[in-house]
Amino acid sequence: MKAVGIDVSKDRLDVHVWPDGIAFAVARDGKGLAELIERLLPLTPDLVIVEATGGFETVVAAALAGAGLPLVVANPAQIRHFAQAAGTRAKTDPIDAAMIARFGHDMKPDVRPLPDEATQLLADLVARRRQIIEMIVAERNRERRATVRRIKKSIARLVRALEKELAEIDAEIDAGVRGSPAWRDKEDLLASVPGVGPVVARTLIAELPELGTLDKKKIASLAGLAPYTRQSGQWKGKSMIGGGRKSVRCALFLAALVASRHNPVLKAFRDRLRAAGKPKMVALIAVARKLLTILNAILRDQKPWQPA
């Protein structure tokens, strides 16, 4: 298996081909990307792995996917842990590229297509909406602590401006989703489940496009809701969840809170867990995971919620 690792920085791309040992660097601009693709295509790699680096990788990933190369955008935490396990302590861009390539060669992550332009725009709008809400909450917390009238007025003006921007973002998201027949049908199917509103449905459409295409274990892992066991010898620790897409997990937790009160099936499920002695948070996580499984099946089968 031939894997290519690409370490992305602001100005350049360091490339390493594993196990061939080929290494080179190109500029992170149009000319450099063209050279990169020209050099990679004859190598016919099985995987091209790019580490997610806060947005710098977006153009690189788009260019590689557009050239038909088998692209994987990898979680940097996974690569860092892999490097630690391999005993690699030194850190330079060429070393990082080699480690990314080795990670792809040994771990063989799944190749997934990049979201199309419209889906990426929706994801960006949903992310921006979340940021604005966080800013509103922060300003309101400051307002409660403020004692100077001038400061209170300043905060109030900023909150009004943020609320206006939030309304405009919501309108743009609504127009995008309701204006697309495919997204509109998806939203209607997801929102047919009691406890799932438009915000949760649109978050899942934008940030979990794999919903309905994977089995329940894989989709739970993507959302960070798959529990992993912790035990050694006679010791057995509590199972935990983690990783995955945090924004999706948060949206599902909110939906699970509502569904555990107003969705008869999930309320009964939560009540059984609580009666069996499960802590509240454990029961809530289980409800969120079951809700995700239901939503996955609904999109897979293209059938709305059936209480039975």
Residue 57, Cβ density class (10 Å: 0-12 exposed, 13-18 middle, ≥19 buried): buried
pLDDT for 56 equals 82
CB contact at 8 A, 177 and 205: yes
pLDDT for 272 equals 95
pLDDT for 258 equals 94
Q: DSSP secondary structure string, 162-174?
A: HHHHHHHHHHHHH
Digit-by-digit pLDDT tens for the chain (308 residues) are: 899 999 998 888 999 999 899 999 999 988 999 999 999 999 999 999 998 887 788 888 888 888 889 999 888 888 888 888 888 776 788 889 999 999 999 998 888 777 778 888 888 899 999 999 999 999 999 999 999 999 999 999 999 999 999 999 999 999 989 888 888 999 999 999 999 999 999 999 999 988 998 899 989 988 988 876 666 566 565 666 667 788 899 999 999 999 999 999 999 999 999 999 999 999 999 999 999 999 999 999 999 998 76
- DSSP, collapsed to helix, strand or coil, labels residue 71 as strand
Q: What is the largest CA-CA distance in the chain?
A: 67
- 0.75 surpassed by pTM: no
pLDDT for 161 equals 97
Q: How far apart are CA 24 and CA 6, in angstroms?
A: 10
pLDDT for 43 equals 92
- DSSP, collapsed to helix, strand or coil, labels residue 224 as coil
pLDDT for 113 equals 75
Instruction: Give the residue carrying structure tokens 């060669």.
Output: 105
Q: Which of 296, 303, 271 is nearest to 284 (CA)?
A: 271
pLDDT for 63 equals 87
pLDDT for 188 equals 94
Instruction: Give the residue carrying structure tokens 């949760």.
Output: 200
